[in-house]
Amino acid sequence: MRILNYIDGKLQEPVNKKFLDNYQPATGEVYGEIPDSRKEDIDLAVEAAKRAYPIWSSMSPGDRSKHLMNLSHAIEKNLEELAQAESKDNGKPLKLAQTVDIPRARDNFSFFATAILHEENAMHDMGKHAFNYTLRKPLGVVGCISPWNLPLYLFSWKIAPALAAGNCVVAKPSEVTPATAFLLSKLCIEVGFPAGVLNIVHGLGHHAGQAIVEHPDTKAISFTGGTETGKKIAETAAGQFKKTSLELGGKNANIIFEDCDFETAVKTAVKSSFANQGQICLCGSRILIHESIYEKFREAFVEQVKKLRVGPPDAAETQVGALVSLAHLQKVQQYIEVAKREGGNILCGGTEVQLNQPYARGYYLSPTVIDGLAPSCATNQEEIFGPVVTLMPFKNEEEALAIANGTKYGLSATIWTQNLQRAHRVAALLEVGIVWINCWLVRDLRTPFGGSKASGMGREGGRYALEFFTEPKNICVWLNQ
């Protein structure tokens, strides 16, 4: 697959004609190439977006909605092809791409396409003297930069609200998983999406990504990715007073109280630890268990984890596919070594899984469960972002909260208890942006999505995203003489 940039409605090579290798995680083979775009490509994309902006931003919400719905329908029509491409590019089980990633990308477009049909603006009445009304205006050209773990899902989660609000977009998917963003650009051409409104430029973060952030004419940056990258983006953007929305890393606690629905808690904990090979920012990578049920939980959990089937992403029975890249596999393996040095017990997994040809050089790791580590050690503090989870006992609610809140991150947490008062009390005291009680990853696209502390700044979802991508302007009207 030869991937091209999508600028001004046309597929094109990067100006320097240079390409990077694109790897298939399931086999470890190069299977395509992607543009190694630089500043000059971003300049072209921003110019195209600026030319398209006057028409797109002044279109009625109804007309913008129709264009976005066309994209949603095109994703639905091509769901199978997109799912195959996502699984091949990322290593995730095909079934996951078919049932979660691509349907969600479709829904991201339809959700924001219809949300703008119901928008209302504020009016503040000052009695007989005056009144105010507030316009919400799009920002102009905005940059959207996304990671590799949920490629089209997170790419469209940014692009859809940005476009719906009337902005023109320069977007960069992760260089590790560019395939479905490229297929989306082909769909844009197929459905006649207006040229220049959405531009998709491929390339490395410190080249193409950095150029989007630095460009004086990008008015806002919506970024999802690692905390260190987010920090760099925030520093660059601050100097230009650019709006930023930063969705960053996590080290989420999954808190199991003694009165939980045991079977459901164990089953869901397996999923929240290892779905997408543990490469979801919302995975519960630290499981905190009340000491009275610690051993029982550990036994049941490890037994179920051992049964998870690691295999080729396109095999129907596969539950855990390949990690996204060799570099990432090695990073996760290094963390397992750190855990051993810190004195952790590897209860299961921790080793590479050797599959037969053609998958023998793919990036497979057995789901890994570790216990015996202090909450303060590196394994329990740093984001691993792979199929690795730790178990820790706690004595009481206060200790559970202290451990849960005792990292620099603050993205999400899960609580398992039948005690209603405790559930709400603990939820209120967790220093995170999202809490699930007796469930995990149940999503309503209207709710605020994002983290606190080193997990980010700002919220996505529903009106929060539409507010980020617009600027309020108050207009005061004097009424009496």
Task: State the catalytic residue, choosing from 247, 260, 283, 383.
Answer: 247
Instruction: Output the smallest distance, CB 283 to ligand NAD, in A.
Output: 9
Q: Does 232 bind ligand NAD (CB under 6 A)?
A: yes
Residue 460, both tokens? 């996505």
Which residues lie closer than 8 Å to 348 by C-beta, 6 or more apart? 302, 305, 306, 366, 367, 368, 369
Q: Does 456 bind ligand NAD (CB under 6 A)?
A: yes
Pick between residue 9 and residue 225 the one whose CB is nearest to ligand NAD: 225
> Which has the closest alpha carbon to 467: 56, 137, 117, 55?
137
Q: Does 25 bind ligand NAD (CB under 6 A)?
A: no
Instruction: Output the smallest distance, CB 208 to ligand NAD, in A.
Output: 7
Q: Does 145 bind ligand NAD (CB under 6 A)?
A: yes
Q: Does 260 bind ligand NAD (CB under 6 A)?
A: no
Site string for ligand NAD, 148-177 (x = CB under 6 A): xx----x-----------------x-xx--
Instruction: Output the smallest distance, CB 380 to ligand NAD, in A.
Output: 16
Peptide bond into 358 cis (omega under 30): yes
> Which amino acid, 252?
N
Distance CA 208, CA 183 (A): 19
Taking CA atoms, 197 is separated from 45, 55, 188, in Å, by 10, 9, 10
Token pair 């990322």: residue: 90
Site string for ligand NAD, 264-303 (x = CB under 6 A): -----------------x----------------------
Which residues lie closer than 8 Å to 314 by C-beta, 6 or more apart? 26, 84, 87, 88, 94
Q: Does 434 bind ligand NAD (CB under 6 A)?
A: no
Q: Does 213 bind ligand NAD (CB under 6 A)?
A: yes
For residue 11, which phi and psi values (nearest 5 degrees)? Answer: -80, 130
**For residues 93 and 310, is the Cβ–Cβ distance under 8 A?**
no
Taking CA atoms, 9 is separated from 60, 189, 272, 331, 365, in Å, by 21, 7, 39, 38, 41
Q: Is 318 left (phi over 0), alpha (psi -120 to 50) or beta?
A: beta
Respond yes or no: is residue 398 known to be catalytic.
Answer: no
Burial (CB < 10 A; 0-12, 13-18, 19+), residue 96, is buried
Stretch that binds ligand NAD, among 73-81, 201-209, 367-375, 422-430 (CB under 6 A): 201-209
Instruction: Output the smallest distance, CB 124 to ligand NAD, in A.
Output: 34
For residues 323-356, b (16+ Cβ closer than 10 Å) or e, as one string?
Answer: bbbeebbeebbebbebbeeeebebbbbbeebebe
> Which has the closest alpha carbon to 248: 225, 271, 268, 273?
225
Instruction: Output the smallest distance, CB 230 to ligand NAD, in A.
Output: 7
Q: Does 386 bind ligand NAD (CB under 6 A)?
A: no
Pick between residue 70 and residue 149 the one whose CB is nearest to ligand NAD: 149
Respond yes or no: is residue 247 known to be catalytic.
Answer: yes
Q: Does 248 bind ligand NAD (CB under 6 A)?
A: yes
Pick between residue 146 and residue 156 the one whose CB is nearest to ligand NAD: 146
Stretch that binds ligand NAD, among 96-104, 139-147, 268-276, 369-377 (CB under 6 A): 139-147
Q: Which residues would be at the binding site for ligand NAD (CB under 6 A)?
A: 145-149, 154, 172, 174-175, 205-206, 209-210, 213, 224-226, 229, 232-233, 247-250, 281, 383, 385, 411, 451, 455-456
Catalytic positions are: 247, 281
